[in-house]
Structures are given as C-alpha cells and as structure tokens.
Amino acid sequence: LKPLESYLLPLWELPAGASQSFCTMSCCFEWLSSRRPTPKVKVEKGWTEAHVGVASSAGVPREAFVRSCMKSAPREERTRENYAQYVNELFEMASALTVPHKADLGRHAFSYAYLLKDEFHGTGCEDALQFVATTKPRDPLSELRLDFDADWAAVPKDGTGRVSASAFKQFFVQKFAEDLAPEVENPYEEFLDLCFNACLSMVPGSESALEGRSFRYGALLAGEFSLSGEGSCPSDVLKIT
C-alpha cells in the first residue's frame, strides 16, 4: 500500500473540474498527517514542560531535561537504566553544541536533543524523521534524507558495515571543513565525540560503532554545531527553533 501522498497530483496536473476532489483528498491527507505531532510541536511541548515554575526564557538544566525525557522511558528496569544513560549523553552532546559549552541548554540545543529522546531503540517511536524508512515521504525533509544517505554511502565502515568513532569524527570534520572557523576546530571535534557517544547509546549493545539509523541522526546533529565560531547562529535545518 502506497503512502496517501503518492496518490496526490499537483493541482496543475489534474483534469478540468477535478480541483474540488483534489482539495478534498489534500485536506484528508493533511488531517491524517496532523495526528502525528510535527517536530516543532513536539519540541515546543517539551520546552514548556521543562519550564514549569520557571521563566520560559531560562536555559534547561540537566535535571529538568532528564526528568522531562524520562516520561517516555521504557518500563523494564534494565532498559530504563540504559535509556537514562542515553538521555544524559544527549544532554552532554547538546551542552557542547555552542561555544563555549553551557551548563544549561538554550532553545536550539534543547530542541535537537529533546527531538532525539524517542530514537532510543525499543521506544516504538524510532526514526521519527523517516531517515531510513523503506518508503520515504516527499516532504520538506526529502533533500536532507538524500544528503544523509549520501553521507552513509561515503563514510568509511568497519568489517561489520558500521562506522567507528574515528571515522565518524574525520568524516564530518572534512565535510564541514570550509565552514568551520579555526578557533572552534578543537571544540567541534570534542562535540563530535559526544555526538557519537549519544548516538551509540541509541541502541544498547552497539559496542563501538554506529549502524545506519544512528549514523544519520548523528549527521543531523553534526551540522547543528556553531561552525562559524562563538556567537554564530546554528543552521536549524529542521526549522524547529
């Protein structure tokens, strides 16, 4: 069964008199899509929950971030422990997204870390952005998915077909070499180490290398670092902040 959007034609390709039917189908598809929160809606809800009792402009400390994420934690005790480790490593990664590192998460760092909280293996919500979906939707993220597919095809892999920490770091340092300000080269490499660790924790038992889904979400994070130096604006490629 094909996704509903694959049956929808642009208005200018429809035969005369068919626009009303098209609008009905389009509205139906929009309604169905709206039943799954968009990334922006999801992180805005998380930001609000993390600011109960405090000013909405305040940064989010580790305790508040972890508490908010743990609402989605699996019930099984050992899995909850692994999930708690994962969200703590997400916080470590996010705190290094800006230069200098911050103890609390600002809106951008919080949003990208919080968005990945459900990417932990076993939550039932993995691959929310459909980076590795068998049938990928045609939407504003289509080009981004192609970019990450190209990254996965190009990055060196070990004998198991996975990506090591050193290969991950070297690949993204080279990918963003032209955009990376000299003064943040070392902080960026440190960030990539934290990014790799967080993505590795997505799948407990991954040992020391990333599979395709974890790598692609790492690729998303790798491009959100303040590449141009202190005070520079992040790309916010998902337009969620």
199-214 pLDDT, tens digit each: 999 999 888 999 999 9
pLDDT tens, residue by residue, 130-187: 999 999 999 999 999 999 999 999 999 999 999 999 999 999 999 999 999 999 999 9
Domain membership of residue 52 (yes or no) is yes
90 domain-assigned: yes
> Which residue is it, tokens 């943040």?
184
Nearest-5° angle of CA 91, CA 69, CA 169?
A: 35
The answer as to whether 104 is a domain residue is yes
Please give the Cα distance from 193 to 104 (Å, whole number).
19
Question: Distance (Å, rounded) from C-alpha 3 to C-alpha 241?
Answer: 28
In the predicted structure, residue 63 carries a pLDDT above the cut 90: yes
Q: Is residue 60 part of a domain?
A: yes
Please check the confidence at residue 226 and state whether its pLDDT lies above 50.
Answer: yes
C-alpha dihedral sign at 143, 146, 147, 148? positive
Q: For residue 65, with 0-12 CB atoms within 10 Å meaning exposed, 13-18 middle and 19 or more buried, which class applies?
A: buried
Confidence of residue 35 (pLDDT cuts 50, 70, 90): low
pLDDT band of 29, cuts 50, 70, 90: very low
Q: Is residue 115 part of a domain?
A: yes
The total domain count for the chain is 1
Residue 24 belongs to a domain = no
pTM, two decimals, is: 0.83
Q: Quote the domain boundaries for residue 193.
A: 43-223
60 CB burial (10 A radius; 0-12, 13-18, 19+): buried
80 part of a folded domain? yes
Q: How far apart are CA 105 and CA 115, in angstroms?
A: 13
Give tens-digit pLDDT for 92-107. Answer: 999 999 888 888 999 9
User: Is 192 part of any domain?
Assistant: yes
CA distance 203 to 215: 11
